[in-house]
Amino acid sequence: MTEYDYWKIFPRMPRKVTIGDITIRDGFQHEEKFISTAAKIFYIEELIFAGCRDIEVTNLGNPFSMPQFRDAEQLLAHLRSDRFKSRCAKKGIDYADICLTAITIRESAVDRAIALKQKGVGPDRLLMMVSTEEEHHFANSGTSLPDYWKEAERCIQKCNDAGMKMCGTVSTIWGSPIGGATELKDAVEFTKRWLSIGAHDVEHADHDGSASAANVYRYYSMILDEIPNPDLHIAHFHETKRVASASVLAALQAGITHFEATLGGLGGQPANFLDDCPTKGTGDYYYDPRYVGLVTLEDTLVQIDEMGIEHGYDVDRILWLGKNMEKTIGRRLRSEAIINGRTLKEGHMQYARPGLKKVKAKLGETPDQKLPADWQGPPVLPQRCFL
């Protein structure tokens, strides 16, 4: 007989997950208008109040390339302020549980983060990234892979000495938008390299929506076979073909417990235009900039919540935030859950037609009767059902 217990079919699948939010950094980096500092602060705070504890807040790279993050120090100063800490305490949130991450692709950004740490406003965790496909890596970092690995090794040592964690990202796992097909085994090797040089954890990134569910399951199974501690691995899925929710499910089935998402599915390649001015970004877009982004936080939460997996969020508050984000951005975003809501066990009885009880009584049916009274015993199936 078929096994119907999902957790017996996929014994590695977790009962509890951690979902980090990266809206303010990865989500906003693709926007071609400046998102005000006040809006960034509002969404960071509200995400934390709704249950988020792992949150990317800014990019500490050169604002010339990505002016969206010219307010990085202002954001961090606010998040380290007594006012914000007091607001967290009033809401019963242990401030020490919050992990603030900033992106630091190159060493100069790591040095900037360390200087901010010394001023008392630095992030808790930094992030550097490699792509297994070198042309994609070069487009992101401006240097070769061997050279970058040595830089990352230096930066991790600096970072750890300063009392901050470093996350190492591996990208182009399932394919590169520049170089094409890639090998999963290269990403497994790169993951081991990050951990061997001192990275605290590893983000496994589908940066262009190349992943299929089957290959996601295959890859994360390979990863957990080699490095079985699930706390070391974070799943990061982009959306270009509307199949990222399948990738989330496949990663869960493989045993991944840490995920990232953005409100409305915002995100994509850093913008090369901001407000009324062209900017450097990372150059020409390698996909249609209108149809990219990450897996949505709202829909992912609803999916995981309805599977009965613990996640720590106030889902309704996140759906409310998603509706507000559409106003902030000024267009319809990707979340379907903010429109249609959650699947309610109690249903929506306001849409029921009146009179069913009277009809059943008139027909002599009991209130819970669903079949004709003379249909006794189990149904007998025709032989063709078994051929």
- The answer to whether residue 346 sits within a structural domain is no
Q: Give the torsion sign (CA, 166, 55, 119, 92).
A: negative
> What does the alpha-carbon distance between residue 203 and residue 187 come to, in Å, rounded to a whole number?
11
| Band of pLDDT at residue 291, cut at 50, 70 and 90 | confident
> Residue 48 sits in a domain of what CATH number?
3.20.20.70
**pLDDT class of 57 with cuts at 50, 70, 90:** very high
Q: How confident is the model over 12-28, as a mean pLDDT?
A: 97
At 53 the pLDDT is 98
Per-residue pLDDT at 286 exceeds 80: no
169 lies in some domain: yes
Q: Confirm whether 240 is domain-assigned.
A: yes
DSSP strand E in the chain: where?
18-21, 54-59, 99-103, 125-131, 165-171, 201-206, 233-237, 258-261, 273-274, 277-278
Q: Is residue 82 predicted with pLDDT exceeding 80?
A: yes
CB 115 within 8 A of CB 109: no
63 and 31, same domain (yes or no): yes
| One domain for residues 264 and 359 | no
Find, among 112, 108, 151, 113, the residue nearest to 129 by Cα: 151
Range 231-248 average pLDDT: 94
Q: Are 327 and 360 in a shared domain?
A: no
For residues 229 and 371, membership in a common domain is answered with no
Could you tell me if residue 347 is inside a domain?
A: no
Predicted confidence at residue 346, as pLDDT, reads: 85
Does residue 292 share a domain with residue 194? yes
Contacts of 324-327 with C-beta under 8 Å, sequence gap 24+, read: 325/23, 325/43, 325/263, 325/264, 325/266, 326/264
Residue 120 and residue 258 in one domain: yes
> Is residue 247 located within the same domain as residue 366?
no
pLDDT digits (tens, 9 = 90+) for 302-341: 999 999 999 999 999 999 999 999 999 999 999 999 998 8
Examine the pLDDT at 242 and tell me if it is beyond 90: no
Structure confidence at residue 79 (pLDDT) = 98
Check whether residue 25 and residue 71 sit in a common domain: yes
* Residue 302 maps to a domain: yes
Paired residues of 55 in beta bridges: 21, 100
For the record, the structure tokens of 48 come out as: 């934390």
Q: Are residues 316 and 362 in the same domain?
A: no
User: What confidence score (pLDDT) does residue 195 get?
Assistant: 98
Mean pLDDT for the chain?
95
Q: Residue 84: which pLDDT band, with cuts at 50, 70 and 90?
A: very high
**pTM listed for this prediction:** 0.93
The yes-or-no verdict on residue 65 having pLDDT over 90 is no
- Residue 41 located in a structural domain: yes
Say which amino acid occupies 259: F
Chain segment 31-51, per-residue pLDDT in tens: 999 999 999 999 999 999 999
- The span from the CA of 328 to the CA of 322, in Å, is 10
Residues 10-27, mean pLDDT to the nearest whole number: 97
Domain that residue 362 falls in: 355-386
The verdict on 41 and 111 lying in the same domain is yes
Q: Which of 49-53, 187-191, 284-288, 345-349 has the lowest mean pLDDT?
A: 284-288
In the chain, pLDDT over 70 holds for what percent of residues?
Answer: 100
Domain shared by 328 and 240, yes or no = yes
In three-state secondary structure terms, 294 is strand
Percentages (nearest 5) of helix, strand, coil residues in the chain: 45, 15, 40
In a domain, 312, yes or no: yes
For the segment 167-212, what is each residue's pLDDT rounded down to a tens digit? 999 999 999 989 999 999 999 999 999 999 999 999 999 988 889 9
Can you say whether residue 262 is alpha, beta or left, with left for phi > 0 and alpha for psi between -120 and 50 degrees? beta
The answer to whether 213 and 220 are in contact (CB under 8 A) is no
Q: Would 253 be classed as within a structural domain?
A: yes
Residues 217 and 359 reside in one and the same domain? no
Residue 111 CB contacts under 8 Å (≥ 6 apart), including other chains: 158
Number of domains making up the chain: 2
The answer, yes or no, to whether residue 60 has pLDDT greater than 90, is yes
DSSP string, 74-133: HHHHHHTSHHHHHHHHHTT--GGG-EEEEE--SHHHHHHHHHHHHTT---SEEEEEEESS
292 exposure class (CB count in 10 Å sphere: 0-12, 13-18, 19+) = buried
> Could you tell me whether strands 201-206 and 233-237 are parallel, antiparallel, or unpaired per DSSP bridges?
parallel
Residue 46: predicted pLDDT = 98
The pLDDT of residue 289 is above 80: no
Q: So what's the pLDDT on residue 290?
A: 78
